[in-house]
Structure 1
Amino acid sequence: MYLSEIELGENVSEIGRGAFGCTSIDVLELSEKVEFIDNIFSDMHTSTKNEIYKITNTVIIKNPECEIETRSGEWGDVLIVCDENSAAMENAKKSNARCCTPEQYEKGEYDKVEVSPLDIFVCIKKYGMMFKETEDGLEVGKICCVKNGTVVIPDEVGGIPVVKYDYGVKATREGSDIFISIEDRIIEQYIDEIEKVVIGKNVKLLGPGAFTQCKNIKSVEGGEGLEKIGDQAFFELHKLEKFDFSDKLKEIESYAFYGCCNLTDVKLNNALEKIGANSFSECVSLDNIIIPDKVSTIGEAVFNDTHISTLVLPESVKNIGRDAFSCFSGDYKDRNEKVLVSVTKVDRVELKVLNPECEIDGDPFYKNSKDVYMYGYADSTAWNFAHKNQVLDFYAFGDANNDYQVDMSDIVLIMQSLANPNKYGLEGTDEHHITQKGIDCADVDNAGNGFTANDALKIQKYLLGQEKLV
């Protein structure tokens, strides 16, 4: 595809049909020893069969005795440059091909061909892919070739924005296994060559299975306008380390990044509303993530088998799915039992639920409730779950004295521990002195910034109905 020039051997006398089809050779000059040629630029890549495209290459013939194929229409829009009285000129006219003499060619005096910027061959040569028009702009139809391991989806083609890469690929299941075929989306021979993807700024949608099976992709960049990532778009890309998440991204569908075991840098934006089931499951190197405050549902197994030690669910989250959260440690292996990455065990696993009415479906901890510290409001759905399922411990926001209630006694203990630390502080002599757990629970004002009188004031305002604790 990217062959732009070639030096023919001095003994070449015949060149067959399609010898240089689907290359980037614009002009080919033949020596005087070439005696016969068919349409050497025909037969583009099989991906373009039955599609409309124009081949506008130029072939310069020096041998006046050189014969060319004379099938009518065979040469399409190829320009044949040869002497006026040559055999090639006679044959070219018989086949209704574009032709001119060398003198006319130098002066530009020959029939010009208008080529659309959406011409398939032009697009493949320039972008390595085909496009099709939609109501909103252009859609990437098929990736036909890859240069230097990189796929670049352009911002626009011929002034028309490229808005999506969605070929309608669907996954099929057999038992617990998932199978996806993307051969209609990317030429099979290039699937393993892709190491980097750059997404144009106008692309809004990456459809289901967009780059599944492209096992060597390490990074995905750009995509400033991306709004939706489809099912299994980057399914089991074990080498993927970096993905630029758009500030406009609203939806991540199921299994989108499932099994991306080396993905570490995930920064979700505030526009995000939906995180589908299993979307980050088995991302075992992912150790930190902030859930945006527009997300309303944490789907089933979203963060199952990650390395996230602390997950904070904002007040917007109304539902937590089954097996949503677990922390992986040990060797992560592929289907052939090859170790892909080894992950150390974290010392403490925490889930903080800021919505006191958040619905919890089944066990969100993948049967590991007893290994989790859970944070939430006293008498909340989180507290009820923790009480029934015997989590390792429950931390109630504002509960300084650890009686699983928030009232004036918590405010009193905070003030006592600050005023008389020898008696009521962490190492105080009074049997009811504050504990480390109590300090952690009481730290509600700018949580994480330390234990102060402002925490007592915030709890007081909470009891008066003036503020939320977190």
Structure 2
Amino acid sequence: RAPLHVTHVRIDESVDVIEENAFRDCEHLVQVETHDGIRRVGNWAFFNCKLLRQINLKSVVEIGRSAFWGCENLESVEFGDKLETIESFSFKGCISIKHLKLPSVITIELQAFCNCKALIDIELSERLETIETRAFIGCERLQRIVIPLKRNLFSIDRLLHLDRLRRKYKQFDGCDQLKTVDLVGGAHIKTVASLHMESWRSE
């Protein structure tokens, strides 16, 4: 684990996994120089690195749980065409990210981008298969998303209420500025209503 006072880091080319907790709570970390051989960013790897402003993840396949949670000054993340999985809470509270382009992602897990309050637009991969519940909850400035036209894209919140199982789609709950949804590619479906678009925003 890195010393907490570290400010600049260069990841050696022999490293293909940034380990769990590697830079956790390094609140003075400003710059991380990566390379094209990194395959995974581990759980909590950059948790609470409040001064980190940008990072290149072009070669990364998996981003672990809570990897960048609390990186409140993180503005620019470069995702490549290898990324498949963004695990739960990965970018929760990254309140400076404005744009997301995820050209290859397959799975976005629970609250992965929760409370990214500056986020304006998102472009998602046609390879996308699953967006778990609350993935973008609280992204209050989100205005536009590009998303594939597919069945069963959203997982469900199941709430037991008055002995009845209620189905809730909360992927975009609290995204009250969301006005434009561009549907691209994917499987043919009979009605847009089957995407449950009416439930993406707060009721």
**Into which bin does the TM-score normalised by the smaller protein fall?**
0.7 to 0.9
Distance 2:195 2:54 in 1: 37
Matches within 5 A, 1:299-378: 299-306=132-139, 307-316=141-150, 318-321=152-155, 322-328=169-175, 346=177, 349-351=179-181, 377=191
| TM-superposition CA deviations, 1:79-98 (whole Å, max 9, x none) | xxxxxxxxxxxxxxxxxxxx
Name the SS for the 1:201 alignment partner: coil
CA apart distance, 1:192:
1.8
Pairing partner for 2:29 from 194, 204, 207:
194
Partner of 1:143: 2
Distance of aligned partners of 1:317 and 1:266 in 2 relative to their CA distance in 1, 3 Å threshold: farther
Measured against aligned partners, the alpha-carbon deviations of 1:10-42 in whole angstroms (never above 9, x if no partner) come to xxxxxxxxxxxxxxxxxxxxxxxxxxxxxxxxx
Choose the corresponding residue for 1:237, options 71, 89, 105.
Answer: 71
Alpha-carbon distance between aligned partners in 2 of 1:146 and 1:353, rounded to the nearest angstrom: 45
Structure 1 residue ranges, 4+ long, deviating more than 6 angstroms after superposition:
none
Q: Give how far 1:214 is off.
A: 1.8
Paired position in structure 2 for 1:165: 18
Q: Distance in 1 between matches of 2:115 and 2:39?
A: 26
Structure label with greater radius of gyration: 1
Amino acid paired to 1:152: R
Kindly tell me the number of residue pairs found equivalent between the two proteins.
185
TM-score normalised per structure 1:
0.36
* Counterpart selection for 1:208 from 30, 37, 43: 43
What is the DSSP-based 3-state SS (H/G/I as helix, E as strand, rest coil) of the residue aligned with 2:37?
A: coil
Q: Which has the higher strand share?
A: 2
Match of 1:258, SS state, is coil
CA RMSD of aligned residues (A): 2.9
Change (3 A) 1:216 1:267: same
Distance (Å, rounded) in 2 between the aligned partners of 1:308 and 1:317? 23
1:284 corresponds in structure 2 to 117
Q: Tell me: CA distance 1:317–1:236, structure 2 relative to 1, closer, same or farther (3 Å).
A: farther
C-alpha contact (below 8 Å) 1:356/1:381 kept by paired residues = no
Identify if the C-alpha distance between structure 1 residues 282 and 327 changes in structure 2 by more than 3 Å, giving closer, same or farther.
Answer: same
Q: Deviations over 1:146-178 (max 9, x none)?
A: 66x21211223xxxxx110123xxxxxxxxxxx
Q: 1:357-436 counterparts in 2 under 5 A? A: 377=191, 380-382=193-195, 386=198
Identity %: 21
Higher helix share: 1
TM-score under structure 2 normalisation?
A: 0.77
The amino acid that maps onto 1:261 is I
Give me the whole-angstrom Cα distance separating, in 2, the residues matched to 1:308 and 1:192. Answer: 27
- Counterpart-to-counterpart distance in 1, 2:175 and 2:154: 19
Indicate if the aligned counterparts of 2:151 and 2:195 stay in contact, CA closer than 8 A: no
State the distance in 2 between where 1:220 and 1:275 align. Answer: 19
Select the structure with the greater relative contact order (CA < 8 A; seq sep ≥ 6).
2
Q: Is the 8 A contact 1:202 1:224 kept in 2?
A: no
Runs of 5+ unmatched residues, structure 2:
156-168
The answer as to whether partners of 1:165 and 1:203 remain within 8 angstroms in 2 is yes
Counterpart-to-counterpart distance in 1, 2:195 and 2:36? 41
CA distance in 1, matches of 2:173, 2:29: 31
Displacement after TM superposition at 1:377 (Å):
2.4
- CA drift at 1:231: 0.5
**Counterpart secondary structure, 1:320:** coil
Task: Supply the distance in 2 between the matched residues of 1:353 and 1:263 (Cα, whole angstroms).
Answer: 23
1:245 CA drift (Å): 0.9
Q: CA deviation at 1:313?
A: 2.6
**Paired position in structure 2 for 1:405:** none
